[in-house]
Amino acid sequence: MIKKKIVFALCIATFASLGFAEGVHWGYEGKIGPSNWGDLSKEFATCKTGQVQSPIDIPTKSAVKVNATIKTNYKVSPGEIINNGHTIQVGLADGGSANFGSIDYKILQFHFHTPAEEKVDSKSFPFNAHLVHKSADGKLAVIGVLFNEGKENTSLKNVLANMPAKEGKVALKNPFNVASILPASLAYYGYAGSLTTPGCSEGVDFYILKTPVELSPQQLASFKKIFPLNARPVMPLNGRKVTEGS
Query: Which runs of E-coded beta strand occur in 7-118?
Result: 57-58, 64-65, 70-74, 79-83, 88-92, 96-100, 103-113
pLDDT at 157: 97
Does residue 86 have an active-site annotation?
Answer: yes
**How far apart are the C-alpha atoms of 53 and 244, rounded to whole Å?**
19
Tell me which amino acid residue 109 is.
Q
Please state the rounded mean pLDDT for residues 139-158.
Answer: 98
Question: Cβ distance 245 to 69 under 8 Å?
Answer: yes
**How do beta strands 79-83 and 168-171 pair?**
antiparallel
Quickly state the pLDDT bin for 18 (edges 50, 70, 90): low
pLDDT at 2: 42
Please state the rounded mean pLDDT for residues 169-173.
Answer: 97
Sorted by where each starts, the structural domains of the chain and their CATH numbers stand as 2-245 (3.10.200.10)
Query: Which residues share a beta bridge with 129?
Result: 112, 145
b or e along 127-153 (b: 16 or more beta carbons within 10 Å of the residue's beta carbon)? bbbbbbbbeeeeebbbbbbbbeeeeeb
pLDDT at 21: 56
Catalytic residue among 86, 111, 130, 133: 86
Average pLDDT, the chain: 93
